[in-house]
Amino acid sequence: MDKPRVLFLCTGNSARSQMAEALLNKYGKDQFEIFSAGLEPKEINPLTLKVLNEAGIDTEDLYAKPLSTYLGKLHFSYLITVCSNAEEKCPIFPGMGLRMHWPFEDPASFEGSEEGKLEKFREIRDQIEARILAWLDELGISYSI
């Protein structure tokens, strides 16, 4: 039986959606096929990769992808927007199951020192991780920490 597919969507596919994809893969890769994309993809923010590596997640296979990579080509059981811009601008497309919105602050918009920026990326990573674990609990899916 096919696993349900999950697509995390944000504007640039450079921070939040990448974190969500990587973290759900960490806890739910046996239960889901997990993807991420951006409405206007740009290069992954180096701090995204840094905070994921700090959490023990291999980032070698992560790269930014446009929504058009999947639009009309794959059925998704879950479409989860992780920024308000994506929630407002994401088209409705065939093959989409349940659509959810998990808004997270954009860590890349934080202004401050390099250490302050890194702390903001860690904060958002931890918020996304907590939301994913809560969702897995809601679904009754067991995972190991």
pLDDT in tens, 58-83: 999 999 999 999 988 889 999 999 98
Q: Is the pLDDT of residue 86 over 80?
A: no
Residue 131, pLDDT score: 98
Residue type, 4: P
User: 57: which 2 tokens?
Assistant: 């997640």
Does pTM surpass 0.85?
A: yes
For residue 76, what are its two tokens? 């998704």
Tokens 């250490």 sit at which residue?
Answer: 115
Catalytically annotated residues:
10, 83, 90
- Please, what are the domains in the chain? 5-139 (3.40.50.2300)
pLDDT over threshold 80, residue 1: no
Q: How far apart are CA 126 and CA 145, in angstroms?
A: 13
